[in-house]
């Protein structure tokens, strides 16, 4: 074995989880549940009779025989390490009671950890995932903070916040994509409800993919601009690591752990030499899910546009038969409709002249390669050149820069405090931003004074909307026509940079 390689590890069974898969698992789990609830009420130890009383009081079904007690199950839990027992001497009044089996049981740290793990597994089975665009904003903001001149302790806090946001994003996205792979259950859902659900889901995925593409380039640039080793070395003094019990170096272990985490974050947004960024694969899966949902909606719409009654289909077929000009056409329609034809293999033996018997014909040499692999294509020339997509990538990058420039201009145009009557005419980019801000503000909860505050998904713009005192309607000149709405009072501010209001308004 190479001396530089780490020592081999052997994973053994965890006895604390035996109670979940044992033959009488419901009884074991009921006992552990009772001890866990008792711990929440600061009750450390329980007697067997108290355990049984708590099980009955909690309404937990336990299939015990008429002469069966909990002693055997409690002893097995002690054997597996979930419980610990001690002699119960508090109720002893006679000498012979000391020689009887009178035990108190308590939940061990291993048993408590196993119970929490089982509860978390059960909770994860029924939990639905989310596409958290807010976590993308959180990751971007934490990366910006890490690029600044900060104290080691602040860098450690920033690294932990970045890791927490990243774990939340990846865990929820993985669970959400897994939910999309499950059957949609359209047959069990009302058609109208299914249609509304799918359309809402399409808008939800489209919104996340848009934010993913909007923030992905910025996050990728921030990661490329950070020297991971230098950052972790600067943060190391603020880790406050405890002294090691053996010859291991906790500082080296902490540094190696965070370098591995940073490698994972970089692979997610930047990629590696052999694989594309995980975020691009996530976007591709989300787009494929959108296409799959669109096809489902198309099939559902097509099914709703025609009758699904079998009797109606047969009546239409009978009408077609009635319009057949002769029997030949009727037979053709029958064959097309039902796929039935005559039994052509039932016939008398017929003599075929002019062809030699298979037994008398000369043998044909068939190469072994042809029999094993089938027909092999003959190479007709050199392989084609690898397509060059550099021009397409440049065009996409230029388009994204143009869209970001239009968005920045729209943010500067709408920043400030104004009433809707003062907005004036808006170009397409400004109008799209205005509608997005107005939609998020109206969807936000109302405060005590009736105003509503919201923030865009990318965190760049904050808006505060105050309702008008009357129901006066104003007209906004939009690129596609006119928009009539109430004369709200708006306060729009750009979070980054100075906000200014255009004089052209």
Q: pLDDT tier at 107 (50, 70, 90 boundaries)?
A: very high
Better pLDDT: 41 or 133: 41
Better pLDDT: 336 or 286: 336
The count of C-alpha atoms lying within 13 angstroms of the C-alpha of 22, restricted to the half-sphere facing its C-beta, is: 17
Give the integer Cα–Cα distance in Å for 316 and 300.
22
Q: Quick check: 346 pLDDT over 70? A: no
The count of C-alpha atoms lying within 13 angstroms of the C-alpha of 85, restricted to the half-sphere facing its C-beta, is: 17
Supply the pLDDT for residue 1: 46
Q: Quick check: 310 pLDDT over 80? A: no
Supply the pLDDT for residue 188: 46
Give the integer Cα–Cα distance in Å for 113 and 130.
27
Q: Tell me the average pLDDT across 124-152.
A: 78
Q: Quick check: 130 pLDDT over 80? A: no
Supply the pLDDT for residue 374: 59
Supply the pLDDT for residue 108: 92
Supply the pLDDT for residue 411: 81
Domain 15-125: give its CATH code: 1.10.10
Please answer whether residues 177 and 289 qualify as being in contact, where contact means their C-beta atoms are separated by less than 8 angstroms: yes
Alpha-carbon 336 to chain mean position:
46
Give the integer Cα–Cα distance in Å for 81 and 75.
10
Supply the pLDDT for residue 300: 58
Q: pLDDT tier at 95 (50, 70, 90 boundaries)?
A: low
Question: Could you tell me which residues come within 8 angstroms of residue 69 by beta carbon, excluding any fewer than 6 positions away?
Answer: 48
Q: Tell me the average pLDDT across 292-302.
A: 62
Supply the pLDDT for residue 99: 54
| pLDDT tens-digit map of 1-25 | 454 555 666 566 788 888 888 888 8
Q: CATH 1.10.10 in the chain, residues?
A: 15-125
Give the integer Cα–Cα distance in Å for 135 and 124.
20
Q: pLDDT tier at 149 (50, 70, 90 boundaries)?
A: confident
Q: pLDDT tier at 80 (50, 70, 90 boundaries)?
A: very high
Mean pLDDT rounded to a whole number for the chain: 77
What is the chain's length?
Answer: 505
Q: Tell me the average pLDDT across 173-182.
A: 68
Supply the pLDDT for residue 14: 80
Give, in order, the Cα–Cα distances in Å from 392 to each of 217, 270, 284, 396, 399: 17, 19, 18, 6, 10
Which of the residue ranges 51-55, 389-393, 441-445 has the most confident prediction, judged by mean pLDDT? 51-55
| Percent of the chain clearing pLDDT 70 (strictly above) | 75
Element (H, E) at 252: helix 250-269
Please answer whether residues 464 and 451 qualify as being in contact, where contact means their C-beta atoms are separated by less than 8 angstroms: yes
Supply the pLDDT for residue 97: 56
Better pLDDT: 327 or 289: 327
Better pLDDT: 61 or 236: 236
| Percent of the chain clearing pLDDT 90 (strictly above) | 4
Q: Quick check: 268 pLDDT over 70? A: yes
Q: Tell me the average pLDDT across 495-505.
A: 42
Q: Quick check: 309 pLDDT over 80? A: no
Q: Tell me the average pLDDT across 80-93.
A: 78
Q: Which two tokens stand for residue 255?
A: 């540094």
Q: Quick check: 494 pLDDT over 70? A: yes
Q: What one-character-per-residue DSSP string does 57-91 give? A: HTT------TT--SHHHHHHHHHHTSEEEEE--TT
Burial of 260 (0-12, 13-18, 19+ CB in 10 A): exposed
Supply the pLDDT for residue 77: 92
The count of C-alpha atoms lying within 13 angstroms of the C-alpha of 340, restricted to the half-sphere facing its C-beta, is: 4
Better pLDDT: 322 or 182: 322
Q: Quick check: 373 pLDDT over 50? A: yes
Q: Quick check: 314 pLDDT over 90? A: no
| pLDDT tens-digit map of 188-237 | 455 566 667 667 777 777 777 777 777 888 888 888 888 889 888 888 88
Q: Tell me the average pLDDT across 160-165.
A: 88
Give the integer Cα–Cα distance in Å for 48 and 31.
10
Q: Quick check: 429 pLDDT over 90? A: no
Q: Quick check: 503 pLDDT over 50? A: no
Q: Quick check: 83 pLDDT over 90? A: yes
Q: Which of 252-261, 303-312, 415-424 has the lowest mean pLDDT?
A: 303-312
Better pLDDT: 505 or 260: 260
């Amino acid at each position: 074995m190479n001396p530089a390689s780490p020592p081999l590890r052997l994973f053994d069974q965890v006895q604390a989880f035996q109670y979940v898969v044992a033959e009488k698992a419901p009884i074991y789990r009921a006992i552990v549940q009772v001890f866990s609830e008792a711990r929440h009420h600061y009750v450390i130890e329980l007697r067997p009779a108290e355990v049984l009383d708590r099980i009955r009081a909690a309404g937990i079904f336990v299939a015990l025989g008429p002469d069966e007690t909990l002693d055997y199950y409690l002893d097995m839990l002690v054997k597996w390490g979930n419980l610990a027992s001690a002699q119960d001497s508090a109720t002893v009044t006679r000498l012979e009671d000391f020689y009887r089996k009178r035990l108190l049981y308590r939940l061990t740290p291993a048993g408590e950890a196993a119970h929490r793990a089982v509860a978390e597994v059960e909770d994860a089975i029924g939990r639905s995932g989310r596409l958290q665009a807010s976590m993308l904003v959180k990751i971007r903001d934490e990366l910006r903070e890490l690029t600044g001149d900060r104290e080691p302790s602040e860098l450690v806090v920033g690294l932990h916040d970045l890791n927490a946001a990243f774990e939340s994003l990846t865990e929820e996205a993985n669970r959400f994509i897994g939910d999309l792979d499950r059957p949609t259950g359209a047959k069990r859902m009302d058609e109208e409800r299914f249609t509304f659900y799918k359309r809402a889901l399409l808008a939800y995925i489209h919104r996340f993919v848009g934010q993913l593409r909007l923030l992905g380039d910025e996050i990728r640039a921030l990661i490329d601009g950070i020297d991971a080793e230098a950052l972790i070395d600067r943060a190391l003094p603020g880790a406050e690591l405890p002294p090691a019990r053996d010859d291991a170096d906790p500082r080296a272990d902490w540094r190696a752990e965070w370098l591995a985490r940073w490698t994972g974050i970089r692979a997610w947004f930047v990629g590696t030499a052999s694989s594309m960024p995980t975020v691009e694969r996530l976007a591709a899966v989300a787009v494929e899910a959108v296409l799959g949902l669109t096809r489902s909606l198309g099939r559902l719409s097509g099914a709703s546009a025609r009758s699904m009654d079998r009797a109606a289909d047969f009546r239409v077929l009978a009408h077609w038969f009635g319009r057949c000009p002769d029997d030949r056409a009727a037979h053709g329609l029958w064959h097309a409709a039902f796929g039935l034809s005559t039994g052509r293999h039932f016939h008398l033996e017929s003599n075929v002249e002019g062809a030699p018997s298979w037994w008398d014909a000369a043998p044909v040499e068939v190469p072994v390669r042809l029999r094993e692999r089938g027909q092999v294509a003959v190479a007709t020339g050199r392989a084609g050149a690898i397509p060059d997509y550099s021009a397409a990538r440049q065009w996409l990058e230029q388009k994204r820069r143009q869209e970001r420039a239009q968005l920045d201009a729209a943010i500067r145009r709408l920043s400030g405090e104004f009433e809707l009557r003062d907005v004036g005419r808006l170009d397409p980019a400004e109008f799209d931003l205005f509608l997005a801000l107005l939609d998020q503000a109206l969807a936000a909860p109302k405060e005590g004074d009736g105003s509503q505050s919201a923030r865009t998904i990318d965190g760049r713009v904050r808006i505060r909307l105050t309702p008008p005192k009357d129901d006066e309607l104003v007209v906004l000149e939009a690129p596609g026509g006119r928009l009539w709405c109430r004369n709200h009072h708006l306060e729009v501010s750009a979070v980054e940079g100075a906000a200014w209001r255009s004089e052209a308004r």
